[in-house]
């Protein structure tokens, strides 16, 4: 399936020659969700859903698992861990029509990447214990109230919980990552599938492959909105894991990851 796949390693950040897929259905779904009244959106908050990282986190929220209160975005996490009917109506069409096929593609791609990185030995764990989520992120335009706050980033620097984080729809400009030298690079938009390793890859490879530290910088034009859709491979909550000094369930692994922050 990926005989012609070319991976280009840019100091932890990996580009491919796979043309980006269209995000139109998922983008429209996220937009339809975000215009619902707050009371409706909060029925699907991360806290209410209580499954992995699934659900809604809003801008300014102080108790989100996956963003700081200073991060300038709304996010909705979908996954193949929760049952589809637990997600709100605006996402249903995407979940039925595109999500399963996209996850199949991601699974094939990730297995091929593991092979090329010399980690085919993880295939059995991957097949049995790895599931996926997609974090749908919307960064609204920066209003006057936000202008007055001293901010340096749109999304603060962090590493992801994932084995890999995959941008199936490419990237909008503003993504930034830290090279091994400590220098930070800010990327322009990219129209191919791109990816990078997360905390799980670092754990499983015993530190040989480092999780990429990354964030999103403020745009020059403060009125510019931004969308991003990141697919994460992560252990199922019930997964049995033993890698290096870590032994526990998938849920224990999420806790260990979150303890860094």
Contact residues: Fe ion, CB under 5 A: 160
Between residues 110 and 160, which has the closer beta carbon with respect to Fe ion?
A: 160
Task: Tell me the pairing of strands 164-167 and 226-235.
Answer: antiparallel
- The least CB distance from residue 230 to Fe ion, in Å, is 6
Q: Which residues of 164-197 are buried (b: 16+ CB within 10 A; e: fewer)?
A: bbbbbbbbbebbbbbeeeeeeeebeebeebbbbb
Q: How many C-beta neighbours within 10 Å does residue 92 have?
A: 13
- The least CB distance from residue 36 to Fe ion, in Å, is 25
- The least CB distance from residue 214 to Fe ion, in Å, is 6
- Closest chain position to Fe ion (CB): 160
Structure tokens at 158: 């962090």
Between residues 18 and 211, which has the closer beta carbon with respect to Fe ion?
A: 211
- The least CB distance from residue 52 to Fe ion, in Å, is 15
Dihedral sign for Cα atoms in the order 21, 159, 53, 30: negative
The DSSP secondary structure of 198-240, one letter per residue, reads -HHHHHHTTTSSPPPPEEEEPPSSTT--EEEEEEEEEE-TT-E
- The least CB distance from residue 66 to Fe ion, in Å, is 8
- The least CB distance from residue 164 to Fe ion, in Å, is 12
* DSSP label at residue 45: B
Between residues 142 and 160, which has the closer beta carbon with respect to Fe ion?
A: 160
Between residues 176 and 256, which has the closer beta carbon with respect to Fe ion?
A: 176
Between residues 94 and 257, which has the closer beta carbon with respect to Fe ion?
A: 257
Structure tokens at 168: 């199936």
Which of helix, strand or coil describes residue 5? coil
Between residues 160 and 202, which has the closer beta carbon with respect to Fe ion?
A: 160
């Amino acid at each position: 399936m990926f005989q012609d796949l070319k991976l280009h390693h840019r100091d932890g950040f990996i580009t491919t020659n796979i043309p980006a897929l269209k995000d139109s259905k998922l983008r429209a779904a996220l937009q339809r969700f975000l215009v619902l009244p707050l009371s409706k959106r909060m029925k699907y908050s991360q806290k209410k859903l209580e499954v992995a990282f699934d659900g809604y986190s809003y801008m300014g929220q102080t108790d989100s698992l996956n963003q700081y209160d200073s991060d300038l975005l709304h996010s909705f996490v979908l996954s193949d861990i929760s049952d589809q009917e637990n997600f709100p109506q605006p996402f249903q069409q995407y979940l039925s029509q595109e999500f399963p096929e996209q996850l199949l593609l991601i699974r094939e791609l990730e297995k091929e990447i593991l092979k090329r990185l010399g980690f085919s030995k993880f295939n059995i764990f991957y097949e049995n214990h790895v599931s996926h989520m997609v974090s749908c992120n919307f960064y609204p335009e920066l209003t006057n109230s936000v202008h007055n706050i001293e901010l340096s980033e749109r999304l603060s620097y962090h590493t992801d919980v994932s084995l890999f984080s995959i941008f199936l729809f490419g990237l909008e400009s503003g993504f930034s990552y830290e090279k091994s030298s400590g220098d930070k690079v800010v990327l322009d938009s990219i129209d191919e599938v791109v990816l990078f390793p997360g905390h799980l890859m670092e754990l499983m490879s015993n530190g040989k492959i480092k999780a990429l530290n990354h964030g999103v910088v403020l745009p020059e034009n403060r009125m510019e909105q931004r969308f991003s859709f990141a697919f994460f491979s992560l252990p199922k909550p019930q997964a049995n894991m033993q890698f290096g000094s870590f032994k526990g369930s998938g849920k224990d692994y999420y806790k260990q990851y979150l303890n860094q922050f």
